Amino acid sequence: MTIQAQPIATRAGEILDVAERLVQTRGFNAFSYADIAAELGVTKPALHYHFRTKEALGEALIARYSERFFRELDQIATADEAAPARVARYVELYRAVLLANRMCLCGILAAEYQTLPSSMRSAVRGFFERNETWLANVLRQGVEHGEVTASEPLEDAARLVIDTLEGAMMIARAHDGPERFDSASTRLIAGLLP
**CA atoms within a 13 Å half-sphere pointing along the CA-CB vector of 14:** 13
Only one of the segments 46-54, 82-90, 131-139, 142-150 lies at the binding site for DNA (rule: CB under 7 A); that segment is 46-54
When CB distances are held under 5 to 8 angstroms depending on the partner's kind, the choice from DNA, a copy of itself, none that residue 165 binds is a copy of itself
**What's the sign of the alpha-carbon dihedral 63, 65, 68, 73?**
negative
Quote the least distance from Cβ 159 to a copy of itself, whole Å. Answer: 6
Closest approach of a copy of itself to the CB of residue 131, in Å: 10
For a copy of itself, the binding residue among 57, 83, 87, 103 (CB under 8 A) is 103
Letters for 50-69 (x = contact with DNA by CB under 7 A, - = none) are x-xxxx--------------
Per-residue binding string, a copy of itself, 170-189, x by CB under 8 A, is xxxxxx----x--xx--xx-
3-state helix/strand/coil string of the chain? CCCCCCCCCCHHHHHHHHHHHHHHHHCHHHCCHHHHHHHHCCCHHHHHHHCCCHHHHHHHHHHHHHHHHHHHHHHHHHCCCCHHHHHHHHHHHHHHHHHCCCCCHHHHHHHCHHHCCHHHHHHHHHHHHHHHHHHHHHHHHHHHCCCCCCCCCHHHHHHHHHHHHHHHHHHHCCCCCCHHHHHHHHHHHHCCCC
Question: What's the burial of 16, exposed, middle or buried (CB within 10 Å: 0-12/13-18/19+)?
Answer: buried
| Segment near a copy of itself (CB under 8 A); pick from 12-20, 24-32, 63-71, 72-80 | 24-32
- From a copy of itself, DNA, none, interface partner of 154 (C-beta below 5 to 8 A by class): none
Minimum CB distance to a copy of itself smaller for 50 or for 180 = 180
List 13, 26, 34, 74, residue binding DNA (CB under 7 A) = 34
By a kind-dependent CB cut-off of 5 to 8 A, residue 108 interacts, out of DNA, a copy of itself, none, with: a copy of itself
- Which residues here bind a copy of itself, judged by CB under 8 A? 25-27, 29-30, 103, 107-108, 110-115, 121, 124-125, 128, 151, 156-157, 159-160, 162-168, 170-175, 180, 183-184, 187-188, 191
